[in-house]
Amino acid sequence: MNATIAERLVGYSGCIMNERQPLDPIRFTRALCEIDSTTYHEGAVGDFLAGFLSERGWAVEKTPVPQPTESASGGDRWNVYAGISDETPDLVFSTHMDTVPPYIPFSEDAEYMYGRGVSDAKGIIAAQVAAAEALRADGFCVGLLFVSGEERDSAGAKQANLSPKGSRFLINGEPTDNRLAIASKGALRAVFTSSGKMAHSAYPELGESAVHKLVEVMARLLTLPMPVTEDVGPSTLNIGQIDGGHAPNVIADKAEAQVLVRLVGDSAPIRTALVEAAAGLAVVDFTLEIPFVRLRALDGLPTMIAKFTTDIPQLSNWGEPLLLGPGSIHVAHTPFEKLSKKELKEAVELYIQVAKQLLA
C-alpha cells in the first residue's frame, strides 16, 4: 500500500483499519482520489480497494477485466467484490472505479472536495463502504461490487454479470443528488461513414466530396423528430465528433461522424430514422446500445430522472436495481467536479435507510 495513503488512513482508524472503527468517508474519498484510475488504468485503485476491504474484515474477490485491443498497454485491471464469508448477500452496493480523463488532483476546503472522481464515483464508493459496514454491524448481509470500465463500455459490469452472488437487490451508485432515480435513459451510439473521390478543389466536378455528403446527413439528423416518453422527457441526439478530408484544397474521399442518442424507449424507430437519413450518402454502424430502464421509488424519498446511462442494464443478474448517489451529474466529467462533504455524509445515512427499507 502506498505510504502516503496508509498514513492518511491512520488518521481515521487508529491503525490501518484493523480496529474497524467507523470509516470517515471524506478521508476515504481523498485516499481513493489520490489514485489515478482513468478508464483502462483501474488496476491500482482495484488493488488498493481489495487490500483495504480485506483488512476491514470483508471476504474479497478480484476478477480480471479484459482490456480492449486499443488499450492493451493499460495493464491489469479488476472488478472487486467484498462480502461476508460463506453468506449470500441480500443486497449489494455497486458503482465503478474508473473515471473519465484527464486526471485532476484532489483538493478540498471546509465545504467541498474537488478533483476527478469525487462525485463520479469515488465519493460514492466511500459512502457505500461506510453504509455497508454499518449494516454489517447491525446484522444485515450485504456486499460491495466495484467494477472497471463503466465510462467506456461497461466491460466490468458485463464480466460481473457472469458470476452473480444471488442478491435480491442492487443499489447502483451514480450522482443523483441523493435522490432515487425512477428512470435512466438509454444510449445508442452510431458511426456514420461517407466515401468519395479525391480531386483538386479547383475542379470539384472531377471528384466527389465525402465531407459534403456527411454534412448533408448531419443536417438531416438535426431535424429529426425525437420520441418523447411522458414523465421522462424526449430522446436527445448529439453529434459528438466529425473527422474527414486531407486539406482545404483537396476534395475529401472519406469522412466520419460519431453520434449518440439518449433513448427514452425502444431503439428500433431511432435506428430506422438514422439509416433513412443516411441513405445514399453514408453507411451507418451501430456500435453501442444501452437500453432505457425504469426503476422503483420508495415511500418518502425524493426522486429524479437520470438522463444518463449506467451499468444497471449490464448487472441484470444482481437483483432488482435502484439508482442513488451523492453529487451532481452536472459537474461530473468537467474540470469543476466537486462534492459537498455534507452531502457525502448524508449519502451514508441514506444508503443505510434505503437498505433497511428494502430488507425490512
With cell 451514480, the residue in question is 174
Residue 45: per-residue pLDDT: 98
C-alpha to C-alpha distance for 153 and 149, rounded to whole angstroms: 6
With cell 452473480, the residue in question is 164
Residue 74: per-residue pLDDT: 81
Long-range contacts of 43-46 (CB under 8 A, 24+ apart): 43/74, 43/75, 43/76, 43/77, 43/78, 45/97, 46/77, 46/78, 46/79, 46/80, 46/97, 46/146, 46/148
Q: How confident is the model at residue 181 (pLDDT cuts 50, 70, 90)?
A: very high
**Same fold flag, 3-184+293-359 and 186-290:** no
Fold classification of 186-290 (topology level) = Alpha-Beta Plaits (3.30.70)
Exposed, middle or buried: residue 338 (CB in 10 Å: 0-12, 13-18, 19+)? buried
Residue 262 grid cell: 439518449
Q: Is 150 a catalytic residue?
A: yes
Q: Is pLDDT of 310 > 80? A: yes
Q: How confident is the model at residue 9 (pLDDT cuts 50, 70, 90)?
A: low
Residue 33 grid cell: 482520489
Q: How confident is the model at residue 5 (pLDDT cuts 50, 70, 90)?
A: very low
Residue 20: per-residue pLDDT: 65
C-alpha to C-alpha distance for 184 and 203, rounded to whole angstroms: 50
Write down the mean pLDDT value for the chain: 94
Residue 140: per-residue pLDDT: 97
Which contiguous run of DSSP H or E holds residue 214? helix 210-221
Q: How confident is the model at residue 69 (pLDDT cuts 50, 70, 90)?
A: confident
Residue 71: per-residue pLDDT: 82
**Per mean pLDDT, which range of 15-19, 160-164, 168-172 is the poorest?**
15-19
Are the CB atoms for 311 and 171 separated by under 8 Å?
A: no
C-alpha to C-alpha distance for 293 and 96, rounded to whole angstroms: 19
Strand locations in the chain (E): 59-64, 78-83, 91-96, 107-108, 112-114, 142-147, 169-172, 180-184, 186-195, 199-200, 228-229, 233-234, 236-244, 250-251, 254-263, 283-290, 293-294, 303-306, 320-323, 338-340
Q: Is pLDDT of 11 > 90? A: no
C-alpha to C-alpha distance for 353 and 118, rounded to whole angstroms: 22
Fold classification of 3-184+293-359 (topology level) = Aminopeptidase (3.40.630)
- The residue-averaged pLDDT of 87-101 equals 98
Are the CB atoms for 173 and 93 separated by under 8 Å?
A: yes
- The residue-averaged pLDDT of 194-213 equals 98
Residue 72: per-residue pLDDT: 73
Spot the catalytic one: 34, 42, 133, 150. Answer: 150
pLDDT tens-digit map of 103-126: 999 999 999 999 999 999 999 999
Residue 33: per-residue pLDDT: 98
Q: How confident is the model at residue 18 (pLDDT cuts 50, 70, 90)?
A: very low
C-alpha to C-alpha distance for 298 and 343, rounded to whole angstroms: 20
Residue 17: per-residue pLDDT: 38
Are the CB atoms for 123 and 25 separated by under 8 Å?
A: yes
Residue 21: per-residue pLDDT: 82
Peptide bond into 121 cis (omega under 30): yes
C-alpha to C-alpha distance for 131 and 9, rounded to whole angstroms: 18
Q: How confident is the model at residue 6 (pLDDT cuts 50, 70, 90)?
A: very low
Residue 304: per-residue pLDDT: 97
Q: Where are the domains of the chain?
A: 3-184+293-359, 186-290
Q: How confident is the model at residue 99 (pLDDT cuts 50, 70, 90)?
A: very high
C-alpha to C-alpha distance for 180 and 171, rounded to whole angstroms: 10
